[in-house]
Amino acid sequence: SHRAPAWSALPAAADGLQGDRDLQRHPGDAAATLGPSAQDMVAVHMHRLYEKYSRQGARPGGGNTVRSFRARLEVVDQKAVYFFNLTSMQDSEMILTATFHFYSEPPRWPRALEVLCKPRAKNASGRPLPLGPPTRQHLLFRSLSQNTATQGLLRGAMALAPPPRGLWQAKDISPIVKAARRDGELLLSAQLDSEERDPGVPRPSPYAPYILVYANDLAISEPNSVAVTLQRYDPFPAGDPEPRAAPNNSADPRVRRAAQATGPLQDNELPGLDERPPRAHAQHFHKHQLWPSPFRALKPRPGRKDRRKKGQEVFMAASQVLDFDEKTMQKARRK
Amino acid sequence: QWDEPRVCSRRYLKVDFADIGWNEWIISPKSFDAYYCAGACEFPMPKIVRPSNHATIQSIVRAVGIIPGIPEPCCVPDKMNSLGVLFLDENRNVVLKVYPNMSVDTCACR
């Protein structure tokens, strides 16, 4: 539980979460004060972290990013399996810690009743034997890549003792998430296996589990990093003439931006552009260069046919430039 | 801001994310004090504008006027503060990022 070693075992996550103990212990209270949307515990938790780390100089878990991942419940063989899609993590984000947050329900009432109603046996010393151990639960984590239909690779398993009453708990799953990411398997599933004979058909709980990933985004200090993550539209729409390579070709905006730099061979410009007089330099700028395009490709991608056509146009345009160069060169040679 | 000094200094600017169309996915803050730098960096530059050595020399060269086309140094942010932003990513998961250099603390001639 949050009071138990599970919390103290979280090095960096504890930094962000120990302050939330009250919230975790009494999620209902927090939900009541924050309105109907607070049933969504992940939103409540993230708000608390935001308030904590909005203070100047505070760094979440020693990094600069906290990502939350909601669970999607699926019933597989009458067992609840929670799926997490971690694909929105950026390559530049170095994972520091990952924590799995879930609501542990107390032992089911009929079983508890059964135990209470049984006369307690006595041992040789005449003292009553302790009640049988509460039903243990096992938390199983599997990972799979996006295009596989397999059950997934088992990444980790941990035994949980059910708490006496409903309680939010957190478990450090940093090694699991790091390994899954290393192997490119960013769909993670979590399954709570109970030793109970008849766990019943799982139903969606108002307290769905979630994952928090604390990361250090190494690209956050790059120019325009705020636009890379927060700008959702391209201020230079498709109709806008683009003299250079189309910026939306690559899936990764950061890669795209790096690939956009064109050399003198592509743009027919003289090398050493930066050393020209300032006035001429300013006139040469195109708006795409003033604001490099880190924008997400929200526009529909053209069909294959259109793409081929566009490719031919680009090739023809390139050929014209080359023809011009050749003529110039011939003239120059004749002279 | 007519009453504000002409010399390079920090000016007030509050940015509302709704004004730039980012309010649909930014949860918090709704707005923040970004500030901006504006004003002259002309010779002689007072200490208050914290000129770099290069800026001092450039302002002298410009004041002497021997080399044409040399502009006066720029009034730019010197110290800046970070800002935590809570937003929804493409999968509508809540993300917290602390962005550096989001608001101006001091301005200088550079």
ipTM: 0.89
Higher pLDDT, A25 or B78: B78
Helix, coil or strand: residue A12: coil
Q: Which pLDDT score, from 0 to 100, does residue A187 have?
A: 92
Is B26 in the A-facing interface, judged by CB distances under 8 Å?
Answer: yes
| Whole-number Å distance between alpha carbons of A140 and A100 | 12
pLDDT in tens, B84-98: 999 999 889 999 999
Q: Do B94 and A68 touch (CB under 8 A)?
A: yes
Report how many Cβ contacts below 8 Å link chain A to chain B.
Answer: 84
Kindly tell me the number of DSSP H helices and DSSP E strands found in chain B: 1, 7
CB-based burial, B18-52: b 16+ in 10 Å, e otherwise: eeeebeeebbbbeebebbebbbbbbbebeeebbbe
Amino acid (1-letter code) at residue A211: I
**Start-end of H helices in chain A:** 5-8, 13-17, 21-25, 27-34, 41-53, 109-117, 174-182, 225-230, 253-260, 264-267, 278-284, 287-290, 304-334
Q: Which pLDDT score, from 0 to 100, does residue A179 have?
A: 92
Q: Which of B90, B96, B104 to mutate to test the interface with A (most CBs of A within 10 A)?
A: B96
For B89, the closest chain A residue by CA position comes to A88
Q: Do A46 and B94 touch (CB under 8 A)?
A: yes
Contact residues, chain A, for B103 at CB < 8 Å: none
Contact residues, chain A, for B68 at CB < 8 Å: none
Cα angle vertex A201, ends A197, A205, to 5°? Answer: 115
Q: Which pLDDT score, from 0 to 100, does residue A201 have?
A: 60
Q: Do B97 and A229 touch (CB under 8 A)?
A: yes
The pLDDT tens digits along chain A (335 residues) read 333 333 333 333 434 444 444 444 444 344 444 444 445 889 999 999 999 988 766 788 889 999 999 999 888 888 888 999 999 999 999 999 999 998 877 665 554 444 455 554 444 444 444 445 556 678 889 888 766 556 677 788 888 777 777 788 899 999 999 999 998 888 999 987 766 555 566 666 678 899 999 999 999 988 888 888 888 766 566 555 544 433 344 444 443 333 343 443 444 444 444 444 444 444 455 544 554 444 444 444 344 444 444 444 444 444 443 444 677 667 777 76
Q: Which of B28, B80, B94 to mutate to test the interface with A (most CBs of A within 10 A)?
A: B94
Contact residues, chain B, for A43 at CB < 8 Å: 94
Classify the C-alpha dihedral A147-A150-A156-A161 as positive or negative: positive
DSSP 8-state secondary structure symbol assigned to residue B49: G
Q: Which pLDDT score, from 0 to 100, does residue A137 have?
A: 75
Q: Which of B19, B88, B95 to mutate to test the interface with A (most CBs of A within 10 A)?
A: B95
Q: Do A88 and B91 touch (CB under 8 A)?
A: yes
Q: Do A65 and B95 touch (CB under 8 A)?
A: yes
Nearest to B97 among A42, A70, A217 (CB): A217
For A65, the closest chain B residue by CA position comes to B97
Q: In the numeric block, which tokens belong to residue A178?
A: 């790091």
pLDDT in tens, B14-46: 999 999 999 999 999 999 999 999 999 999 999
Q: Which pLDDT score, from 0 to 100, does residue A277 have?
A: 46
Three-class SS string for A286-303?
Answer: CHHHHCCCCCCCCCCCCC
Shortest distance, CA B8 to any CA of chain A (angstroms): 22
Contact residues, chain A, for B91 at CB < 8 Å: 85, 87-88
Higher pLDDT, A115 or B78: B78
Q: Which pLDDT score, from 0 to 100, does residue A241 have?
A: 52
Q: Which pLDDT score, from 0 to 100, does residue B98 have?
A: 94
Q: Which pLDDT score, from 0 to 100, does residue A109 have?
A: 53
For A89, the closest chain B residue by CA position comes to B89
For A277, the closest chain B residue by CA position comes to B69
Helix, coil or strand: residue A187: strand
Contact residues, chain A, for B97 at CB < 8 Å: 64-66, 217, 220, 229
